Structure 1
Amino acid sequence: MIVKRATIEDSNRIFNLANAAFVPSPWPESVFEHELKSPRSQYFILDGGFLGMTQILDEIEINSLAVHPDNQQQGIAQQLLATVFSLPNVTRFLLEVDESNVAAICLYKKMGFSVYYHREKYYKNGHAAIMMERKVSVTN
Structure 2
Amino acid sequence: MNIKLATIEDSQQIFDIAEAAFSPSPWPKSLFEHELTSPRSQYFISDGGFVGVTQILDEVEVGSVAVHPNNQRQGLAYQLLTMVLTLPNVKRFLLEVDESNLAAIQLYEKLGFSAYYRREKYYKNGHAAIMMERKV
TM-score, length of structure 2 as denominator length = 0.98
Structure-1 residue corresponding to 2:75 = 75
Instruction: Give the deviation of 1:47 after TM superposition.
Output: 1.4
Question: Per-residue CA shift, 1:22-58, capped at 9, x if unaligned?
Answer: 1110011000000001000000001100000000000
Structure-1 residue corresponding to 2:30 = 30
Structure-2 residue corresponding to 1:120 = 120
Structure-2 residue corresponding to 1:90 = 90
Structure-1 residue corresponding to 2:41 = 41
Question: Per-residue CA shift, 1:34-93, capped at 9, x if unaligned?
Answer: 000100000000110000000000000000000011101111111111111111110100
Aligned-residue sequence identity (percent) comes to 75
Secondary structure of the residue aligned to 2:74 is coil
Paired residue total: 136
Quick check: 1:7 aligned with 2:2?
A: no
Counterpart CA distance in 2 for 1:40 and 1:4 is 17
Structural mapping, 1:102-113, within 5 Å: 102-113=102-113
Output the aligned Cα RMSD. 0.6
- After TM superposition, the runs of 4+ consecutive aligned structure 1 residues lying more than 4 A away are none
Note the residue ranges of structure 1 that are not aligned, 5 or more in a row: none
Note the residue ranges of structure 2 that are not aligned, 5 or more in a row: none
1:33 counterpart letter in structure 2: E
Structure-2 residue corresponding to 1:51 = 51
2:64 counterpart letter in structure 1: S
TM-score, length of structure 1 as denominator length = 0.96
Secondary structure of the residue aligned to 2:121 is coil
